[in-house]
Structure 1
Amino acid sequence: MLRSVHPKLPMRDKAATRNYYIDCLGFRDVGAVDYEGYLMLEKDGIQLHFFEFKTLDPLENYGQVYIRTDAIAALYQWLLDRNVAIHPNGALQQKPWGMKEFSLLDPDNNLLTFGEEG
Structure 2
Amino acid sequence: MISLIIPKLPFINKEKTLEYYSKLGFELVADHGDYLITKYQDLEIHFFKFETFDPEKSDFMIYLRIDNDIDGFYQNIQDQKIEIHPNGKLETKPWGMKEFSLIDPSGTLLTFGEKV
TM-score by length of structure 1 reads 0.91
Instruction: Report the count of equivalent residues.
Output: 115
What's the % identity of the aligned pairs?
A: 47
Q: Which runs of 4+ in 1 moved over 3 A?
A: none
Which residues of structure 1 form unaligned runs of 5+?
A: none
1:14/1:38 contact within 8 Å kept? no
Q: CA RMSD in A?
A: 1.1
Residue 48 (structure 1) aligned to one of 45, 53, 56: 45
Distance 2:3 2:83 in 1: 32
The one-letter code of the counterpart of 2:3 is R
The one-letter code of the counterpart of 2:67 is D
Distance 1:89 1:66 in 2: 15
Structure 1 residue 44, shift from structure 2 partner: 2.5
TM-score by length of structure 2 reads 0.93
Structure 1 residue 7, shift from structure 2 partner: 0.1
Alignment-derived partner of residue 73 in structure 2: 75
Q: Map 1:87-102; keep pairs closer than 5 Å.
A: 87-102=85-100
Alignment-derived partner of residue 13 in structure 1: 13
